[in-house]
Amino acid sequence: MTDQTERGLARALVIGDGSWGTTLALLLCRNGISTTLWSAFPEQTERLREERVNQAFLPGVALPGEMEFTADPHSAAQGAELVLSVVPTQFLREVAERFEDALPGDLPLVSATKGLEIETFQTPSRILLEVLGERPLCVLTGPSHAEEVARGLPASLVAASADAGLAERVQGAFNSDCLRVYTADDITGAELAAALKNVIALAAGIADGLGLGDNAKAALLTRGMVEMARLGQHMGARPQTFFGLAGFGDLVTTCYSAHSRNRAVGEAVGRGERLEDVLRAMNMVAEGVWTTKALFGPEAELRAVSMPIAEQVHAILFEGTDPRDALLSLMRREPTGEMAGFAEERS
């Protein structure tokens, strides 16, 4: 095992005790970094401390004895050299406010949340900086189902930051024989790709529920990727970011995996189940549902961007459109060029 000094990090804090937050804390501990996992619920903290397993979100995975747990922001932050935020987007602002007085102003943040805030259309990193103040920030994302990563199955992520040194520090903290982390500098693209692929995963699940077959799903993913990159470019991201781990890699995983909550929600809706009933039966968050709502909310920036798949997902989830009618709407659209809608790249 590489020791703490080689990784340049001795102590870390992970905010959020869901499956991915627990997994990231586990990875840091395995790499010899003293890590505290913060939960919003004191009773959950006690269960984690006593049982050494997160039965609610990551059952069957033993948590090391050296991992610490707390529900107190100030004790959680004490001595931390790096803070990871892994809180669902719609709860992130409220949780970040609880840490306003606990985190020093120069303490680096890593955002590992995928989504868009419904009311503001803000990405998780912008919410964090808005609440906690400007500071070094990195986005950690990519194809990464917690159920597999926690078991040590091989995976790759991308650490995106305008601060190359911080991206490399995050890379060093997580790299192992089972996890390879790449660095990048397009934060906007990495976050938008991570959020938007969940919308396409809902569409892929709906296609599965309708039994549309492999050809339709392949076309859906490909055209969905174009929509993601088109919106990303409109918002200042580089289109090529969407064809890397944060976009293409995560899209494939989320649209095909049995672990994917978003795909499963879409499949249930495609079979005719009501969205409200599907969500009520889940104990985890399907971020794609709320990202879809944010895309067409009051702060949406889609007015100049063509996103027909996302539009139909929104119509199915929130406007009562029958999935088969949505399919016909997509198939009967005016013929167009495959890459229409992209602005020319500036040199």
**293 given a catalytic annotation:** no
β-pairing verdict for 34-38 and 11-15 = parallel
Please tell me whether residues 235 and 324 are part of one structural domain.
yes
* 208 has a pLDDT exceeding 50: yes
Give 2's pLDDT tier (boundaries 50, 70, 90).
Answer: very low
Domain's final residue, options 125, 151, 185: 185
Give 285's pLDDT tier (boundaries 50, 70, 90).
Answer: confident
The answer to the question of residue 20 being in a domain is yes
Q: What is the mean pLDDT of residues 303-321?
A: 93
Q: What is the mean pLDDT of residues 328-342?
A: 90
The answer to the question of residue 88 being in a domain is yes
Please tell me whether residues 216 and 95 are part of one structural domain.
no
Please tell me whether residues 150 and 164 are part of one structural domain.
yes
Please tell me whether residues 161 and 284 are part of one structural domain.
no
Please tell me whether residues 69 and 172 are part of one structural domain.
yes
The answer to the question of residue 124 being in a domain is yes
Nearest to 58 by CA among 138, 157, 151, 123: 151
Contact present, 127 and 135 (Cβ < 8 Å): no
The answer to the question of residue 343 being in a domain is no
Please tell me whether residues 172 and 240 are part of one structural domain.
no
Q: How many CB atoms sit inside 10 A of residue 150's CB?
A: 22
In angstroms, rounded to a whole number, what is the distance separating the alpha carbons of residues 83 and 179? 19
Please tell me whether residues 52 and 129 are part of one structural domain.
yes
Please tell me whether residues 171 and 196 are part of one structural domain.
no
pLDDT at 7: 66
Based on its alpha-carbon atoms, the radius of gyration of the chain, rounded to whole angstroms, reads 20
Place of tokens 């599965």: 208
Q: What CATH number did the domain enclosing 161 receive?
A: 3.40.50.720
* 5 has a pLDDT exceeding 50: no
The answer to the question of residue 341 being in a domain is no
- Determine the structural domain holding residue 62 and report its residue range: 4-185
Give 3's pLDDT tier (boundaries 50, 70, 90).
Answer: low
> DSSP character for 241?
G
286 or 164: which carries more pLDDT confidence? 164
pLDDT at 8: 74
Please tell me whether residues 135 and 97 are part of one structural domain.
yes
The answer to the question of residue 336 being in a domain is no
Q: How much of the chain exceeds pLDDT 70, in percent?
A: 95
Give 234's pLDDT tier (boundaries 50, 70, 90).
Answer: very high
The answer to the question of residue 314 being in a domain is yes
Domain's final residue, options 185, 204, 226: 185
Phi-psi domain of 39 (left: phi exceeds 0; alpha: psi -120 through 50; beta: other): beta
Contact present, 18 and 88 (Cβ < 8 Å): yes
Q: How much of the chain exceeds pLDDT 90, in percent?
A: 88
Amino acid at 97: E
Domain's final residue, options 135, 167, 185: 185
Please tell me whether residues 238 and 147 are part of one structural domain.
no
pLDDT at 1: 43
pLDDT at 144: 93
Give 202's pLDDT tier (boundaries 50, 70, 90).
Answer: very high
Domains identified in the chain, total number: 2
The answer to the question of residue 114 being in a domain is yes
User: Apex CA 130: angle with CA 22 and CA 71, to 5°?
Assistant: 35
pLDDT at 6: 56
Q: How many CA atoms lie within 13 A of 102 on its CB side?
A: 19
Least trusted range by pLDDT, from 67-76, 159-168, 296-305, 337-346: 337-346
Q: What is the mean pLDDT of residues 270-293?
A: 91
- Active-site residue, selected from the candidate residues 114, 197, 217, 293: 197
Please tell me whether residues 122 and 144 are part of one structural domain.
yes
Q: What CATH number did the domain enclosing 195 receive?
A: 1.10.1040.10
Contact present, 35 and 25 (Cβ < 8 Å): yes
Whole-structure pTM over 0.95, yes or no?
no
Mean pLDDT of all residues in the chain? 93
Please tell me whether residues 292 and 180 are part of one structural domain.
no
